[in-house]
Amino acid sequence: MKRLEQGERHTVSLILNGVPRTGRADNRTLLSDFLRHELGATGTHVGCEHGVCGACTVRIDGAAARACLTLAVQAEGRRVDTVEGLAGKDGELNDLQQAFRRNHALQCGFCTPGILMSCSDFLERVPGPTEAQVRDMLSGHLCRCTGYTNIVKAVLETAAERQARREEEKHA
Amino acid sequence: MKPGAFDYIRIDSAEEACELLAQYGDDARILAGGQSLMTVLNMRLAQPGLLLDVSRTAPLDYVRLQDDKLAVGAAATQASVEWRAGLAGEVPLLKLAFPHISHFQVRNRGTVCGSIAHADPSAELPLCLAALEGEVVLRSKKGRRVLKAGQFFQGMLLTARRPDELVEEVRYPLAATGTGYAFEEFSTRHGDFAIVACAAVVSRDGIRLAVGGVADRPRVARWPHLEDSALDAALNDFAWDLEAQDDPHASAKYRRHLVRRLGRRVIQQASAATSGEK
Ligand SMILES: Cc1cc2nc3c(=O)[nH]c(=O)nc-3n(C[C@H](O)[C@H](O)[C@H](O)COP(=O)(O)OP(=O)(O)OC[C@H]3O[C@@H](n4cnc5c(N)ncnc54)[C@H](O)[C@@H]3O)c2cc1C
Ligand code: FES
Ligand code: FES
């Protein structure tokens, strides 16, 4: 049992997008603030800080979750994936990001990092979703710009592309 | 909106949690999924001195069949129950209710025991526990107590849990043969807390109807098999019994209307499910 005292800064080490990173945090530091202010990963956005808007959604050990409802000290030793980890090394957008761009699934882009992280978890678990399932998953996010229709299109398109690619590989 | 200062301990076992709860009582708070507590802390509606984090307590991270129940430990997330391959056969009511509980991203971290301990009158998991007459296992340094859902829920965010007790496990009874289950909810948007939620269990013995979102806790009515006007009359009496209040989300009158309508619908669905099984 290790008691972390209030008012002190504790060392937090985690794997951010595949890279081991370490920073300092108070007990009360939220994971969202730790990522942005301590590790400089400002791709994760902060809206409501009470779990409603979804802007801060990241993947913790693979599962999409609110960074604003998680303490930085709780992420010790965990794998945390954020929007910065989606594009390839040369900065090339991944298939989901490209589909968002193609379909105008973003305008201001404030909600987009969170939505992309939810979608990336969701599409791994539900590779061939129905429109209703996609809309259900998106109900955990607020977007003030797009009206969601193009987001739904981008997600369904990505799912279909991935399915087609899997089929191709099977018969290659 | 940032939380106030607190000490933090990551808990390794139920024994350790109980030891610390005995020592610190009300000044300590269990942190499970944090999907209600972190909101409360961020808004500074509570400022506990010590958080006991059970979200990674391996011995409490289990979902298992135990006698005729599905037992869920304090560290098990809602997602770990929801994504169980056999859930629809094991506890069909939970399978029906999960999609209504907040959002996928929240269920990934929120725990079943946390929702029960929190006891929000609109929450779906307490409602299902009440409808199925499930159990809550409370553990302290002195030992364990097992309470029926009806004894555990005492009011709005109020339960029979004592300050030195951990909700160690929650037990949902498994589906019985010849019994039908149904769940319906009305909320402003999908994933919001329920304005009215209804769960029905219909067996050879009769009807059980549980209603959430209206009274200060999930309430259960038990009836013999009723039909047509007799059922309407019973539903109407129950809707009035719940003493619905007006609030910004819905009027008391509208809530009574929903209890009558959704109540009838779930009873019909659950009855149909029993005959389907025979
Ligand atoms: C955007 C949003 C929408 C939501 N919508 C819904 C909804 O529609 N329906 C619904 O039911 N819920 C909803 N919730 C709440 C969610 O289901 C929570 O996960 C749940 O209420 C609490 O579980 P938790 O594990 O997160 O508990 P925590 O938030 O960690 O704890 C909640 C409370 O219970 C206590 N506690 C937790 N575990 C234990 C334990 N084992 N022993 C003793 N005390 C304990 C804590 O000390 C705290 O007081 C929503 C949450 C969010 C953020
Ligand atoms: S900032 Fe986390 S959900 Fe809004
Ligand atoms: S693109 Fe602006 S909020 Fe979604």
pLDDT over threshold 90, residue A2: no
Report the mean per-residue pLDDT for chain A.
Answer: 96
Q: What is the pLDDT of residue B191?
A: 80
Give me the residue spans of the domains in chain A: 9-84, 95-171
Q: What residues contact A112, with CB distance under 8 A and at least 6 apart? A: A83, A100, A105, A106
> Cβ contact (<8 Å) for A49 and B4?
no
What is the domain class of B180-274 according to CATH? Answer: alpha beta
pLDDT band at B61 (very low <50, low <70, confident <90, very high): very high
Cα separation, B112 vs B126, in Å, equals: 9
What is the pLDDT, as a whole number, of residue B278?
43
Q: Write down the CATH superfamily of domain A95-171.
A: [2Fe-2S]-binding domain (1.10.150.120)
Average pLDDT over residues B61-73: 97
Q: Given a cut of 80, is residue A31 above it in pLDDT?
A: yes
CA angle B68, B114, B59 (to 5 degrees): 65
- Alpha carbon of A111 to those of A52, A144, A147, B12: distances in Å? 12, 8, 12, 36
| Same-fold call for B7-53 versus B180-274 | no
Residues from A contacting B (CB-CB < 8 Å) are: 1-7, 26-28, 30, 33, 49-51, 54, 57, 60, 63-66, 68-71, 73-74, 76, 118, 121-122, 125, 136-137, 139-140
Q: Tell me: the pLDDT tens digits for B153-204?
A: 999 999 999 999 999 999 999 999 999 999 999 998 888 889 999 999 999 9
**pLDDT digit string, tens, across residues A74-89:** 999 999 999 999 999 8
pLDDT at B250: 93
Q: How many other β-carbons are positioned within 10 Å of the β-carbon of residue B278? A: 6
Mean pLDDT for the stretch of residues A14-23: 98
Question: Is the pLDDT at B252 greater than 80, yes or no?
Answer: yes
By C-alpha distance, which of B42, B16, B43 is closest to B30?
A: B16
Edge to edge, the sheet with strand B143-148 lists B63-66, B69-73, B166-173, B135-140, B143-148
Same fold: A9-84 with A95-171: no
Query: Could you tell me the maximum CA-CA distance found in chain A, to the nearest angstrom?
Result: 59
Is the domain spanning B58-173 CATH 3.30.70.1230? The answer is: no
Percent of chain B with pLDDT over 90: 93
Query: Which phi-psi region, left, alpha or beta, contains residue B96 (left: φ > 0; alpha: ψ -120 to 50)?
Result: alpha
Domain boundaries, chain B: 7-53, 58-173, 180-274
Region for residue B106 given its phi and psi (left: phi exceeds 0; alpha: psi -120 to 50; beta: otherwise): alpha
For residue B147, with 0-12 CB atoms within 10 Å meaning exposed, 13-18 middle and 19 or more buried, which class applies?
Answer: middle
pLDDT at residue A85, rounded to an integer:
97
Find, among A62, A61, A32, the residue nearest to A45 by Cα: A32
Domain range B7-53, its CATH number among 3.90.550.10, 3.30.360.10, 2.30.42.10, 3.30.43.10: 3.30.43.10
B248 three-class SS = coil
Mean pLDDT value of segment B49-76: 98
Which ligand neighbours the alpha carbon of A145 most closely? Answer: 3
* Secondary structure string (H, E, C) spanning chain A: CCEECCCCCEEEEEEECCEEEEEEECCCCEHHHHHHHHCCCCCCCCCCCCCCCCCCEEEECCEEEEHHHCEHHHHCCCEEECHHHCCCCCCCCCHHHHHHHHCCCCCCCCCHHHHHHHHHHHHHHCCCCCHHHHHHHHCCCCCCCCCCHHHHHHHHHHHHHHHHHHHHHHHC
Q: Taking residues A11-20, what's their average pLDDT?
A: 98
Average pLDDT over residues B238-242: 97
pTM: 0.96
Q: What is the reported pLDDT for A141?
A: 97
Q: Length of chain A, please? A: 172
- d(C-alpha B41, C-alpha B30), whole Å: 12
Question: What is B134-201 written as a DSSP string?
Answer: -EEEEEETTEEEEEEHHHHEEETTEES--TT-EEEEEEEEPPPTT-EEEEEEE-SSTTSPPSEEEEEE
Judge whether residue B233 has pLDDT over 70. Answer: yes
H or E, element range at B53: strand B50-53
Direct distance between the N- and C-terminal alpha carbons of chain B, in angstroms, rounded to an integer: 55
The string of pLDDT tens digits covering residues A150-163 is 999 999 999 999 99
Nearest atom in ligand 1 to B161's CA: 43
- pLDDT bracket for residue B276 (50, 70, 90): low
pLDDT of B277 over the 60 cut: no
Helices B252-277, B228-241: crossing angle, 10 deg rounding? 130
pLDDT in tens, A97-139: 999 999 999 999 999 999 999 999 999 999 999 999 999 999 9
* Pairwise CB contact (< 8 Å): B34 & A71: yes
Instruction: Please report where in the chains the tokens 């024994």 appear, as a residue.
Output: B15
Whether the pLDDT of residue A95 is over 90: the answer is: yes
Q: Do B83 and A27 touch (CB under 8 A)?
A: no
CATH number belonging to domain A9-84: 3.10.20.30
Question: Which of A3, A10, A139 would best serve as a mutation to test chain B binding (most B beta carbons within 10 A)?
Answer: A139
Residues of A in contact with B35 (CB under 8 A): 51, 66, 69
What is the model's pLDDT at position B1?
75
